[in-house]
Amino acid sequence: MRKQILATIAAAVITGIVALGMFMVGINALLNPNGTTASSSPAAAVASASTDPAATSATTQAQVAQLQAQVAQYQSREAQYQTALSQDNTQLQQASSEMQMIQQLLAYLQNRGLITIDSQGQIYVTGRAGN
């Protein structure tokens, strides 16, 4: 019997807390100056949201035009970036080719005994040529 009384008291306390919370949310919504007015029906809400279809259509068309202009800007930038990337790749290939030629020249000079290259990359001219 004692457990039933404790359970009833606990249920009443929990119900009171939930009711108090709901009451506080309601008071907050009632006193909130940034709130919106409720419509009497969903149809009224739709009607008030779209009272002037011409203005809504003009606004939508202006937004679409603005977005299309932004897309055109982005496409123009992308074309510029693609051109710059292509030029950079060409320069990279040229530099790589030049580096390969320099490496071949250094290897040739080293094999002929005209230069020596130490482990730290220092190049020394030996000055002796072997036919």
Q: What is the dihedral of CA 106, 109, 115, 119, to 10 degrees?
A: 40
Q: pTM for this one?
A: 0.44
| Structure confidence at residue 41 (pLDDT) | 61
Residues β-bridged to residue 125: 115
Domain segments of the chain as ranges: 59-125
> pLDDT tens, 14-45?
999 999 999 999 898 888 877 666 666 666 55
Token digits of residue 15: 């119900």
The dihedrals phi and psi of 125, each to the nearest 5 degrees, come to -85, 120
> pLDDT tens, 71-94?
999 999 999 999 999 999 999 999
| Structure confidence at residue 2 (pLDDT) | 86
DSSP E strands in the chain: the ranges are 115-117, 123-125
Average pLDDT over residues 112-121: 90
Q: Is 50 helix (H, G, I), strand (E, B) or coil?
A: coil
| Structure confidence at residue 15 (pLDDT) | 95
Residues β-bridged to residue 115: 125
Tokens 């279809």 sit on residue: 53
| Structure confidence at residue 59 (pLDDT) | 86
